[in-house]
Amino acid sequence: MQAPVVSTRVENTIRKIAVVGSGAVGCYYGARLARHYDVSFLMRRDLNAVRKSGLRIESVDGDFTLEDVQAFETTVQIGPVDLVVIALKATANDLLLHLLPPLLKKDTVLLTLQNGLGNEEFLASHFPGHPILGGLCFVCINRGEPGTIRHLAHGLVEMGAVDDSGPIEEVGAMFQKAGIDCHTLPDLGLTRWRKLIWNVPFNGLSIAAGGIDTQQILASPELENRTRALMLEIIAAAAAYGHTIDPEFAEANINCTREMGSYQPSSLIDFLAGNAVEVEPIWGEPLRRAKEKQVETPELKRLYLEICAAVGKG
């Protein structure tokens, strides 16, 4: 496994940050950044609660509350910033076509913390000329009552730049200063495939197996075997694109997941709430890319079809 490159240099070119997508991920990482930097949040559901009582983070690393949160209803109210942290579900990417322009200056950096494949390409095609970074969040987190985020375990962010553009070292160092375990990697594609090793089986089987959590998945020998098979298929597909991942990384993911207890993955939470599930970015796109390289992925195909059936996707 390639060792991460840890950022250490800060150039202080980024002063104002906007978080677009203030769900669990956006609020958690945004709140940590906001204790050190000028951060504005685009909020909808929790807007009134946060304006009244602040943003509460209940964390295994120590609870804290942001008392005076810069929370806004529209990006027009926020205005141009130096860095946009995008934490919307990838199913809502079309909304970015309207949400992002009021936030942009000539050199505004776009950082996507979204799941799946294709998000950086989407941003590059619609917002050419802007530096684009991708970040993968290995974190156990969910939303509580309005204005409260529960951080249960982990929190690592692995980050890379598209085409070597963008101040990756500076942004990585900002995350580190905010108390976030952040590693910058020289290969963003590798980072994306590494995250899929967890997302594909655990988000997928939690839905396909009837709405169960990670503990229940690993308690079933059949589902644990499917988990491992899916991980190895993702590793094979990644290798076809030049991204080498040690199979031991899959085992490490399984072992870490055992420590989470009865954790509900984000896709399961969306599914149970009747919200859109990120079917194509997490399962459809990896399946298509594997097919392009003639990599056999029967377990991934099976899971993709099961999820499509579960969510009513034809």
Q: Are 113 and 25 in contact (CB under 8 A)?
A: yes
- Active site annotation includes 301: no
Q: Give the DSSP H or E segment for 182.
A: strand 182-184
Closest CA to 131 of 99, 93, 170, 94: 170
Q: What is the DSSP letter of 102?
A: G
Q: What is the rounded distance in angstroms from the CA atom of residue 99 to the CA atom of residue 18? A: 11
Report which secondary-structure segment, H or E, holds 301.
helix 298-311
Residues with Cβ within 8 Å of 132's Cβ and at least 6 positions away in sequence, in order, are 109, 110, 111, 112, 120, 123, 124, 161, 162, 165, 166
Residue 74 falls in which region: left (phi positive, over 0), alpha (psi -120 to 50) or beta: beta
- Do the Cβ atoms of 282 and 196 come closer than 8 Å? yes
DSSP per-residue letters across 32-47: HHHTTSEEEEE-STTH
Task: Tell me the residue type at 306.
Answer: E
Of 89, 195, 293, 301, catalytic: 195
φ and ψ at residue 68, rounded to 5 degrees: -110, 95
- Residues identified as active-site: 195
